[in-house]
Amino acid sequence: MSEKLWFQLARNIVKAGGPPVPINDTLIELLKTLINEEQLKFLLKFRKPLNLDQIKSKVNLNDSSLTNMLNDLMNIGMITGIPSKTTRIIVYRLVAFLPGLLEFTLMKGETGEKQKKLAKLWDKLFSEEAVITQKNYDIVMNAFKDAPPIDRVIPVEQQIEPHEDLVLPEEEVRKVIEKFEIIGVSYCYCRHLKDLLNDPCKIDAPRQNCLSFGRTAKFAIDHDFAKSISKEEALEKLKEAEDLGLVHKAFHVRGDPQQEELAICNCCSCCCGNFQAFYSGTSPTHTYTSYIANVNEDDCVGCGTCVDVCPINSIELDDTIAKVNTERCFGCGVCAHSCPENAIELQRTGLRKVFIPAPKVSTS
């Protein structure tokens, strides 16, 4: 019966949102590494978001024990407790696996034996997921294509022409930062995962440069997943990320790009979980964007810098001139920022989805 409860919790977490994750022995071991059986039974009450009064009606715990239980689970990252934007009443939610539990389990930067075990389990789970995808390639790709993207690429700010008729404020990194009074910075869980696996970032990108905003940031700060920083410090971290060729990825409330941002990740192709899932054949690249790169052929000298820095291999040299694959480009601006001849600019397309099927690879 106990094993069935663990699998039920895993199913509930998958239903909480995000892309599909295989519910298998590896995932169950990961959950058992994070929580005990008492916490398991408590979490099974969370089939939907609940406020404190609703939780009290479902459990047999006194106020002190309930407070301790909620705080322990929030500190682990199994649930969030964030005030409703309209009522200000704290709503407790079971987190999804991705994005959610993966980030919370690794974004404190801890390096103990428990964290090393978790890193190995996540890595094993991703490898198992790649095998499942490749064996059921067409079914999985179609399922992802029918699902909404989970993030939005925000272009490198210096590569956008600041004309109010062409650029929406929400699409500029600086404007995103200016929206929020509370900003948190956390460890990049992707780079920390690689560090724990003794496979560190190839460009030695900063470890602490994942940003969270508003109510999400306050939760992360209160539970030691992030530390508070100023708007100026946030902009400095974004500038540092741009100079290293990192990609800005924004996550929104309910995954809706019309809603406010929850967080911005600054992604390198050698560590980013999304990029690695793509390269390994686990899942497609599926994102929102509003821009596309355009090469001025008269200025291009065919140096190949853009080919080297493009995180999604959407540029190639054709007779010594850089050519952009418009079906693959998600307008991050890394190529334009890195071009020594300033031969690339970003053109506004309006909000669109970019879907690039994962490659077919050998998983033997």
Domain with 80 in it: what CATH number? 1.10.10.10
Same domain, 213 and 249: yes
Same domain, 146 and 260: yes
pLDDT in tens, 328-338: 999 999 999 99
Mean pLDDT, rounded, for 26-48 = 95
Task: Count the domains in the chain.
Answer: 2
Instruction: Give the residue numbers spanning the domain of 237.
Output: 140-356
Output the pLDDT for position 208: 97
Mean pLDDT, rounded, for 344-353 = 91
pLDDT in tens, 160-211: 443 333 333 345 788 899 999 999 999 999 999 999 999 999 999 999 999 9
Same domain, 128 and 165: no
In this predicted structure, the answer to whether residue 158 has a pLDDT above a threshold of 80 is: no
In this predicted structure, the answer to whether residue 85 has a pLDDT above a threshold of 90 is: no
Output the pLDDT for position 240: 94
In this predicted structure, the answer to whether residue 159 has a pLDDT above a threshold of 60 is: no
Same domain, 214 and 351: yes
Same domain, 147 and 175: yes
DSSP of 289-346: EEEEEEE-TTT-----HHHHH-TT--EEEETTEEEE-TTT-----HHHHH-TT--EEE
Output the pLDDT for position 173: 83
Same domain, 99 and 164: no
- Average pLDDT over all residues of the chain: 91
Q: 115, 139, 163: which is the final residue of a domain?
A: 139
Q: Is residue 339 part of a domain?
A: yes
User: What residues pair up with 213 in beta bridges, in sequence order?
Assistant: 183
Same domain, 70 and 175: no
Output the pLDDT for position 157: 58
User: Which of 191, 314, 174 shows the shortest CA–CA distance to 246?
Assistant: 191
Task: State the Cα–Cα distance between residues 138 and 164, nearest whole angstrom.
Answer: 42
Output the pLDDT for position 316: 96
pLDDT band at 99 (very low <50, low <70, confident <90, very high): confident
Same domain, 157 and 285: yes
Q: Is residue 361 part of a domain?
A: no
The model's pTM:
0.90
Angle between helices 113-135 and 25-34 (to 10 degrees): 160
Same domain, 127 and 249: no
Q: 139, 172, 206: which is the final residue of a domain?
A: 139
Same domain, 155 and 255: yes
Question: How many residues does the structure list for the chain?
Answer: 364
Q: 107, 139, 171: which is the final residue of a domain?
A: 139
Same domain, 42 and 173: no
Q: Is residue 364 part of a domain?
A: no
